[in-house]
Amino acid sequence: MIPALEALERLREGNRRFVSNTRSLETLATRARRHEFVDGQEPMAVVLGCSDSRVPVEIVFDQGLGDLFVIRVAGNIVAPSLVGSVEFAALRFGTRLVVVLGHTRCGAVGATLQELTRPTGGASRNLSSIVDRIRPTVEELLATDLRRDPEALYRHAVRANVRASAEHLRHGSEVLEGLIRTDGLRVVGAEYALETGAVDFFDGVEESR
């Protein structure tokens, strides 16, 4: 089992490689070691990311086969099946780091902002189920002065949405809560900047264990 903080450091290093446009030989070598993963896996981190095509998780962290247990959904929202996926990885593979990875200019967050400020009412029930998960967080921000600055509002909304998903994972599951309390599981929030390629781990990384 790879401890949460060690996994976090590996992700940080991998992202530094991505930003500087270098690749780890070890990452590339996992392709040749494909057969070793047939009978099992020990992913070092679970990443709940957005489906956005510009944020492919393994690429932005320069990781290979068997390294990451990735869950992607528009807006990196948390719904029961997504909590279940995180529980599955934590229990089955002993993965101890969970990362909620949002990104700048997230379309799902933008759509939620639009729905709240200039509603079109045209979204399907299925699409609304995503917007509805993001809505409470954005509504709180709309009650502040940020509503007068659309760009700042958008930036804050992306981060607030990451924080909300991370909080939901920390407290919306007895399984995960137990693992956090007694077993070294850590849930952190991060934002990928489309502009620079850098990932900023900004939530849940400060407090000591």
106 or 141: whose CB is closer to Zn ion? 106
Cβ at position 102, least distance to Zn ion in Å: 7
Q: Which is nearer to Zn ion, 54 or 171 (CB)?
A: 54
Q: Which two tokens stand for residue 75?
A: 């807006």
Structure tokens at 148: 């007068």
Count of residues near Zn ion by CB under 5 A:
3
101 binds Zn ion (CB under 5 A): no
**Over the range 23-48, which residues count as b (16 or more CB within 10 Å of their CB) and which as e?**
ebeebeebeeeeeeeeeeeebbbbbb
Grouping H, G, I as helix, E, B as strand and the rest as coil, residue 62 is coil
Judge whether 103 and 189 are in contact, CB under 8 Å: no
Q: Is 102 helix (H, G, I), strand (E, B) or coil?
A: strand
* Contact string 180-199 vs Zn ion (x = CB under 5 A): --------------------
Give whichever of 8 and 50 is closer to Zn ion, judged by the CB atom: 50
Find the Cα–Cα–Cα–Cα dihedral 203, 160, 14, 94, rounded to 10°: 60
The reply to whether 115 sits near Zn ion by the rule CB under 5 A is no
Closest contact distance (angstroms) between CB of 108 and Zn ion is 5
How far apart, in whole angstroms, are the C-alpha atoms of residue 67 and residue 35? Answer: 14
Nearest distance, CB of residue 199 and Zn ion, angstroms: 14
Contact 175, 91 (CB under 8 A): yes
**CA-based angle 168:172:176, to the nearest 5?**
100
Q: How far is the CB of 93 from Zn ion (least distance, A)?
A: 26
Nearest CB to Zn ion, comparing residues 52 and 62: 52
CA distance 149 to 57: 30
User: What's the closest the beta carbon of residue 29 comes to Zn ion, in angstroms?
Assistant: 31
Which span sits near Zn ion by CB under 5 A: 12-20, 103-111, 119-127, 171-179? 103-111
131 binding Zn ion? (CB under 5 A):
no
Asked whether position 50 contacts Zn ion by CB under 5 A, the answer is yes
Q: Is 106 in the site for Zn ion (CB under 5 A)?
A: yes
Contact set for Zn ion, span 135-164 (CB under 5 A): none
> Binding residues for Zn ion, per CB under 5 A?
50, 52, 106
